[in-house]
Amino acid sequence: MVTATETPGAHGEDSPRESSPYVELDRATWAMLASETESPLTSDEVARLRGIGDQLDLAEIRDVYLPLSRLLSLRVRAATALHHAQQEFLHGLTPPRTPFVIGLAGSVAVGKSTAARVLQQMLARWPEHPNVALVTTDGFLYPNAELVKRGLLERKGFPESYDRKALMRFVIDIKSGKDEVEAPVYSHLVYDVRQDQKVVVKKPDIVIVEGLNVLQPARVRGDGRVGLGLSDFFDFSIYVDANTNHIREWYVDRFLRLRETAFRDPDSYFAKYAALSHDSAVDEARRIWDTINGPNLAQNVLPTRSRATLVLRKSADHSVDWVRLRKI
């Protein structure tokens, strides 16, 4: 079934509208859009791409990500054709086409990192664009020492905790067509930016920029002028969505899984949580969600959902239930 209305129950949207700038497709209809295309990923590759707590399998790849990769490949091809047309119009005075940039946003624990990794691998299998780079905005967080200095350590992940100028420069350099651009690296083990590591992006066909706040609009400056927003440089944007209560449960579940794995590494910033009892760990995970991640989702991340070109809506079991695509 294909509709052009809002889906009832999506974050409080309890009444459908008669018209919408989106086309909505249920999972079965969406899956049919790539029914004649074979999935390029094996079960072992899917297992390596799966994040903690995500229920990613070959069915999800076939039904959700295969149609999405096909759509994105078509959009890349269309952007190339448009570039050629503009070059012809300008009598060749423009430089070579710049990379196609995809912004991917969503809450902590919703599975956006897994979605980004899957898309990177699947898009790279299309022969028209084999060089697909993935950059997460975590690397553009201020170092912990700077966050402490600014009184922002407990607001990590909020927009003000990022070096937004550096992130903007990175995306502008990508869209300017620079041959080589560097991005900082973030370590979830030590919960800090690694000053000794960089991600080098060299002549990519596609760049995926994944992060909590990548779809935020431009800020209004003190003099009333509006600057540029990161999303001004995106050719396509995706928001991974789910019911907030489900995301909270997924966050707690992920915290408990990490308590049994990564938190037991003595080098982990969160090693102090490894010795917690099950009940104490649940209480601590809920506290962190309710004081940091939940408010950030409500205040900063969720309001950007309507800015996305495409929304992937997940059900309680982490599988994508329906897709909302902005009309052209």
Q: Which range (87-91, 93-97, 163-167, 168-172) has the least confidence? A: 93-97
Which CATH code is given to the segment(s) 2-326? 3.40.50.300
Q: What phi-psi label fits residue 177: left (phi over 0), alpha (psi between -120 and 50 degrees) or beta?
A: left
108 is known to lie in a ligand binding site:
yes
106 is known to lie in a ligand binding site:
yes
CA–CA separation, 70 vs 83, rounded Å?
Answer: 20
Beta bridge partners of 293: none
What's the burial of 159, exposed, middle or buried (CB within 10 Å: 0-12/13-18/19+)? middle
Q: What is the pLDDT of residues 270-299, one digit of tens each?
A: 999 999 999 999 999 999 999 999 999 999
Mean pLDDT of 51-75: 92
Q: What is the pLDDT of residues 304-317, one digit of tens each?
A: 999 999 999 999 99
177 is known to lie in a ligand binding site:
no
CA–CA separation, 304 vs 216, rounded Å?
Answer: 6
Given a contact cutoff of 8 angstroms between Cβ atoms, the answer to whether 194 and 269 are in contact is no
* Length reported for the chain: 328
Mean pLDDT of 214-230: 87
In the three-class reduction of DSSP (H, G, I as helix; E, B as strand; rest coil), residue 193 is classed as strand
Question: Locate tokens 């975590």: which residue?
Answer: 138
pTM for the full model?
0.91
Query: For the chain, how big is the Rg over CA atoms in Å?
Result: 20
23 is known to lie in a ligand binding site:
no
109 is known to lie in a ligand binding site:
yes
315 is known to lie in a ligand binding site:
no
Buried b (16+ CB within 10 A) or exposed e, 132-143: bbbbbbbbbbbe
